[in-house]
Chain A
Amino acid sequence: MKSLKNHISVILSLFILLFSVQFSTVIYKIIQNQNQKLIKNYSIVLVSDRKLNTIDLQKIVKEIDLVSPINPKKIIDKLKNSMSSENLTILKIALPYFYSITLNTLPGKERLNKIKSQLLALKQVTRVEIFTKTYENIYQILQILQLISYVFTAIITLMSILLLFKQIRIWILEHEEKIKIMGYFGANYWIKSAFLYKLVLIDSFISTSLVVAIFIYLPKSLFIKEKLDTLGIKIPNFNITYDVGILFGISLLLSLFIVAIVSRQMSKK
């Protein structure tokens, strides 16, 4: 029972740590998806005296993905009833070129202003509209969300590491007599600590399995799916090989590292 309790302490610490890491990864991926959506729906409108093309503008602003001309037909059609055909022809000739510019990344407010000034610096460009306000609000919310998830992960990681240190110290104290007896018969460090490494290996495997199970189940849960669909959020798919590898790797490396430190510290005493 006592041994089970000790196992649970390590499994729980590792589970919380891995859960927060995976949670933070999911948040990151969701934010990236939202960013992509935002980029797709967002464009800069540019007015120019002369024709422009994507390649020329990409030389000035590297974030530019596509420059597409806006057809002024709609505006002209609206004026058809109030203007004579002669005036309309003159207007058509006098109208500047309108372009919609899409970007490949989601830049911050400062960068957007910089892009605006870079585009305005071109002689032929007469006006640039970047719609900062609408854009800035969504962008800020996403950034804050990401920051919160990172802070949350950092705190949880720190707490879990401290808990692991404490628990492994308890393990060693509990097995002190056994370690000492092994030493009387010439066991080296690796033989004496082999059981500790074995225990953390098992616990790492269990905690990783639990986190994996949760993150495979959660996106499939109808309740959560409905809620997220309402918000237009899609949880990225769990990559069995990559994500499991990362989680198990983190858990194993961290626990082995802690065992190595604690057991060496205690063997010196």
Chain B
Amino acid sequence: MKYVVQSKNLCLGYGKDEPVITGIDLNVDSHDFVFITGKSGSGKSTILKSFYGELPPKNGNLRICGVDINNLKNSKLNLLRRYLGIVFQDYKLIESWTIEKNIMLPLMIGGFSKSVCEAQAEKLLRHVKLTHKIGKYPLELSGGEQQRVAIARALAHNPVLILADEPTGNLDDYSSEVIWSLLKNAREHLGTTVIVVTHHIPATIGINYKHFFIDKGVLYEVS
């Protein structure tokens, strides 16, 4: 598998309406760090949704981790998602679960034993510097801390691809910096491919990355 994400003439849209995004040709190599930027409502999140199978393509081809997303059965989509780590702007943590249980979620789904799940959650909590919050629930944490938990969850099962939708959208500068550093580390130390949808690329990112810009439903490669 050369490309982690490969699309050809990809058209995306909602319901029976005309596609809002047309003709996307995109190849993302393994270990790439990709930014997709654009104005609000330009369709950045729509692209990401199609990458994790939430929005099926209207036209064209899309392969994620070598799997053709078109007409993918639910069972196959579930299997594919076990190779992905998704980070949402609104964190999407399970409020009734403790933060460590939230981090364990992808591992529990993957069928790992309880001891493995707990050890990995503890390791990741150390990594995101939240060991002092063990036993707490998401709503007891600040926004930045919740997003760190969300990133720890996305990394828990060593995914092939991380898809992050505005991961620093609601955060202050300090929290944003921590999040970027966690995503950078994932690429550098784990070799994970990272695709981030964001309004702007931080000036201090300090890594080689690919940059795509979306405007009026068309995706342009910037660098």
Contact = CB atoms under 8 A, between A and B. Distances in A.
Interface of A: 177-178, 180-188, 191
B96 A186 contact: no
Top 5 A-B pairs ranked by shortest CB distance? A186-B81, A186-B82, A185-B106, A186-B78, A187-B109
10 contacts: A177-B92, A181-B94, A184-B92, A185-B86, A185-B109, A185-B153, A186-B78, A186-B110, A187-B109, A191-B108
Contacts of B190: none
A64 B106 CA distance: 71
Nearest to A3: B96
A184 B78 contact: no
B109 A184 contact: no
B96 A185 contact: no
Interface of B: 52, 75, 77-82, 84, 86, 92-94, 96, 105-106, 108-110, 153, 157
Nearest to B108: A191
A180 B81 CA distance: 13
Nearest to A184: B86
A184 B96 contact: no
Contacts of A191: 108-109
Contacts of A181: 92-94, 105
B94 A186 contact: no
Given A187-B78, A188-B75, A188-B78, A182 B109 contact: yes
Given A185-B106, A186-B109, A178 B96 contact: yes
B92 to A, nearest CB: 5
Nearest to B93: A181
Contacts of B84: 186
A96 to B, nearest CB: 83
Nearest to A181: B92
Nearest to B111: A191
A132 to B, nearest CB: 67
A181 B84 CA distance: 13
Contacts of A182: 105, 109
Nearest to A268: B74
Given A178-B94, A178-B96, A185 B105 contact: yes
A125 B91 CA distance: 93
Contacts of A187: 78, 109
Contacts of A185: 81-82, 86, 105-106, 109, 153, 157
B80 A186 contact: yes
A185 B112 CA distance: 14
B143 to A, nearest CB: 17
Given A184-B92, A186-B110, 7 more contacts: A177-B94, A184-B81, A185-B81, A185-B82, A185-B86, A186-B84, A186-B109
